[in-house]
Structure 1
Amino acid sequence: MRIYKVGGAVRDRLLGIPVADIDRVVVGATTEEMLAKGFRPVGADFPVFLHPKTGEEYALARTERKSGRGYGGFTFHASPEVTLEEDLIRRDLTINAMAEDDQQNVTDPYHGQRDLEARILRHVSPAFAEDPLRVLRVARFAARYSGLGFTVAAETLDLMRQLSESGELQALTAERSWKEISRALMEDRPQVFIEVLRACGALKVLMPEIDALFGVPQPETHHPEIDTGAHTLSVLEQAAKHEQPLTVRWACLLHDLGKGLTPEDEWPRHIAHEFKGLKLIKAVNERFKAPRDCQELALLVGEFHTHGHRAQELKPSTLLELLQRFDVYRRPQRFEEFIAACEMDARGRKGLEERSYPQADYLRGAANAARSVEVQPLLEKGFKGPELGEAIKRERLKVLKAYKEKA
């Protein structure tokens, strides 16, 4: 029995960056031997065990063979005869197909160290094209490591393009897709994820609503970058730069989908794109079964982001309706995330990345003003039921009028 660290733990140590997860592979062992040593089995599809003391995962070396469509369409074979090299060749990228023993001696049969030095993301073998999830994984790794100068090898991009054209991507489950998408959006350069998917044709298959934004012009006065797709990538870039949470990044990605529906003879204007985009945002939300908080914020940002930009121009009654829609009294954090998404949208414009966004403080002040209205005095005056609701609304409108005059 020989035990090796594999994959990301080896890759990141060689890159000199913190190692987050450690995967281990066991060569020359049987399930019975693992159980005899106190390891606990957890793998349903292939033999994975938890260490009796540390709880860390150990997987038996295995080979795999394509047996059906999609990510799950594989049969696995684990036995003591499977070599380390056979286990490593089934992995996606050369930089993930290295192993090291306890003395940090590296086994690198597929030249992962060479590709680390060259800053190349390259597939290990032609079997790469058997797993459609790898298209998303490579795009995610590109987003993670592009800051270090990594790019996708041309031949790997060709295989990703073949997968995108094969129909295999449609076999991916919503859960697996969302796991990769959400992780990619939280990388330092999430816009690179979208760029790589677009370069290999996968964006058109997985998110045609976003792909449709590229080549669609906007008024240069407000959008010096002009192209709606380029603007979306810039907004996503700003969201990462300002360390926004996943909910905000997802909303930033989807906020302008309605512009993809504008007839060409109306370009570069996009009248009512906020409302037109809602059905598209809903479709993307449902396609990937995004978490509820991500879905809700994306829809609200899509509908109201232009309200955010015009916050100081809004009538007190319109401002009150906005606050009501966000339920700022019970869910203040969601309104904060809306403000953040609006600010990222404003900053995601060529040459305007550092421009101030006074609308943010104005909206926060309005929310605080509305929240300052106390219910108890109205109850003491005898208001109840629907009348109480109307009285609260009148008081909130009164304080918002005063707030706007003072501001």
Structure 2
Amino acid sequence: MQVYLVGGAVRDQLLGHPYQEKDYVVVGATPEQLLAQGYQPVGKDFPVFLHPSSKEEYALARTERKSGKGYHGFEFHTDVDVSLEQDLIRRDLTINAIAMDEQGKIYDPYHGQEDINNKILRHVSPAFAEDPLRVLRVARFAARYATYGFRVADETIALMKQLANSGELSCLTPERIWKETSRALMEPHAEVYFETLRQCQALKVLFPEIDVLFGIPQRPEYHPEIDCGVHTLMALQQACQANYALDVRFAVLVHDLGKALTPKDQLPRHIMHEERGLVPVTELCQRLKVPTNIRLLAQVVCKEHLKCHQLLQLKPGTIWRLLQRLDVMRRPERVKAFAQACQCDAKGRLGLEDRDYPQADYLLGAMQAVRDVKVQDIPKELQGSEIGEYLISKRIEAIAEFKKASALTE
């Protein structure tokens, strides 16, 4: 029995990239042998075991054969005679098909180290095109390793196009698409994920609402980059650079979907795009089964982001109604996330990436002024609806005082 460290841990160790998870492949062993040593079985489709003490995953070396559609459509074969090379060739990319034995010796039958040195994401074998999930995985790796200068090999893009145009992507479950996408959104260059999907023609299949934004013009005095799709990815890049949370990044991604629905005779203006965008944002979230809290932020950013840009000119009553729609009293964290997303929209524009966005701090200051109005201060003689009216008037008054104080300090 021989044990090898494989996959991401070896790849990232060679690259000098931080990693946490370790996966192992076991060659020349049977399930019974591992069970006898105290390993715990967890695999349903093929034998995967947890180490008795470390709880790390150990999988028996296996081969696979396409037997149906989708990424579940495979038959697996494990046996003591399955070699390390046979196990590695079924993996997606050469950089993921490297193994290391217990003495630290590297086994690299498919030249993954060479591709690491040349910063190339390349498929291991033509069998790559049998698994539609690999389109998303490669795009996610492109987003992760863009910092190091990696690009997807042309021949791998060609196979990804083949998968995108074959109908196989329809076999991916909404949960799996969202899992890969949410992970990609948290990478340092999430925009590269969507650029890669567009390059291989998968974006129009999986995210048609985003794909149609490319080529739609905007007014250059507000958007020097002009193209709506380019702006969307520039704004997403701002969210990544600021290391904002997943809900903010997703909201930024979908904030301008309504611009694809602007009547052509109105272009390059986009009147009421924030209202039009609610339908595609909601449909996208429902299709991918996006978690509720992420969907709610995406919807409110889509609908209200122009109000945030105009914040410094708004009256106190208008600001209060905006804060109400953001659920300021119960969800102050949503107000902060909303401000972050709007800031990314404002800065995700060609040549304006370093612009100041005082509206974000202004909104948070107004929120704090509102939240400082205490229920305990309500006069005891007030009853029923009078209480609510009093609180609203006091909150608007607090915003007015904050606005006045802010003007004095500017």
TM-score category (smaller protein) = over 0.9
Q: Which residue of 1 aligns with 2:327?
A: 327
One-letter identity of the residue aligned with 1:325: R
Partner of 1:403: 402
1:123 — aligned with what?
123
TM-score of the superposed pair, with normalisation by structure 1: 0.98
- 1:380 pairs with 2:380: yes
List per-residue Cα deviations over 1:260-297 (Å, max 9, x = no partner).
11122211100000010001001111111112221111
1:89 to 2:92 alignment: no
State yes or no: 1:392 paired with 2:391.
yes
Distance in 2 between residues matched to 1:405 and 1:14, nearest whole Å: 57
CA deviations over 1:177-211 (Å, ceiling 9, x no partner): 11110111111111111100000000000000100
Q: What displacement does 1:315 show?
A: 2.1
Q: Which piece of structure 1 moves more, 368-377 or 134-143?
A: 368-377
Match of 1:239? 239
In 2: Cα distance, 1:285 partner to 1:209 partner: 11
The 8 Å contact of residues 256 and 302 in structure 1, kept in 2 or not, is answered as: yes
Where 2:383 maps in the other structure, the secondary structure is coil
| Structure 1 residue 379: Cα displacement | 5.5
Inter-partner Cα distance in structure 2 for 1:352 and 1:135: 33
Q: 1:215 — aligned with what? A: 215
Q: Does 1:287 align with 2:290?
A: no
Alpha-carbon offset, residue 322 of structure 1: 0.8
CA distance in 1, matches of 2:16, 2:362: 44
* Aligned-partner residue type, residue 166 of structure 2: S
Alignment of 1:27-38 (within 5 A): 27-38=27-38
1:230-277 Cα distance to aligned partner (Å, 9 max, x none) = 101100111111111111000010000000111222111000000100
Residue 403 of structure 1 and its aligned partner are, at CA, apart by 2.8
Which TM-score applies when normalising by structure 2? 0.97
Structural mapping, 1:8-407, within 5 Å: 8-378=8-378, 380-384=380-384, 386-407=385-406
* 2:52 alignment partner AA: P
What is the deviation of 1:325? 1.1
1:35 Cα offset (Å): 0.4
What amino acid is aligned across from residue 23 of structure 2 in structure 1? D
- Cα separation, 2, equivalents of 1:29 and 1:144: 34
Higher mean C-alpha deviation, range 75-84 or range 189-198: 75-84
Aligned partners of 2:150 and 2:325: how far apart in 1? 43
Counterpart-to-counterpart distance in 2, 1:67 and 1:316: 64
Supply the AA of the counterpart residue of 2:109.
Answer: P
Letter in 1 for 2:53: K
Distance in 1, Cα, partners of 2:19 & 2:275: 44
1:383–1:391 Cα contact (<8 Å) kept: no
Distance 2:18 2:317 in 1: 51
How big is the shift at 1:84? 0.7
Deviation at 1:406, TM superposition (A): 3.6
CA RMSD of aligned residues (A): 1.1
Question: CA–CA distance in 2 between the matches of 1:374 and 1:406?
Answer: 20
1:49 is paired with a residue of what secondary structure? strand
Contact 1:40 1:49 in 2 (8 A): yes
Partners of 1:135 and 1:219 in 2: CA distance: 34
Query: In the aligned structure 1, how far is the partner of 2:314 from the partner of 2:76?
Result: 61
Q: CA deviation at 1:108?
A: 1.0
Q: Secondary structure at the match of 1:58?
A: strand
> In structure 2, what residue type is equivalent to 1:133?
L
Q: Is the 8 A contact 1:70 1:169 kept in 2?
A: yes
- Give, in whole Å, the separation in 1 of the partners of 2:345 and 2:90: 41
Counterpart Cα distance in 2 of 1:226 and 1:182: 27
The Cα offsets for residues 332-373 of structure 1, whole Å up to 9 and x where unpaired, read as: 111100000011111101111111111112111111111121
Q: What secondary structure sits across from 2:346 in the alignment?
A: helix
Q: C-alpha deviations, 1:108-165, integer Å up to 9, x for none?
A: 1111111111111100111101110100000010111111111111110000001000
Q: What residue identity is the alignment partner of 2:34?
A: M
Q: CA deviation at 1:18?
A: 2.1
Secondary structure at the counterpart of residue 165 of structure 2: helix
The alpha-carbon deviation at position 377 of structure 1 amounts to 2.8
In the TM superposition, residue 69 of structure 1 has moved relative to its aligned partner by 1.4
**In 2, distance between residues paired with 1:168 and 1:188?**
29
Aligned partners of 2:314 and 2:215: how far apart in 1?
32
> What fraction of aligned residue pairs are identical, expressed as a percent?
58
CA distance in 1, matches of 2:224, 2:71: 41
Q: Distance in 1 between matches of 2:383 and 2:368?
A: 23
* Cα distance between partner residues in 2 of 1:24 and 1:17: 19
**Following the alignment from structure 2 to structure 1, what is the Cα–Cα distance between the partners of residues 131 and 286?**
23
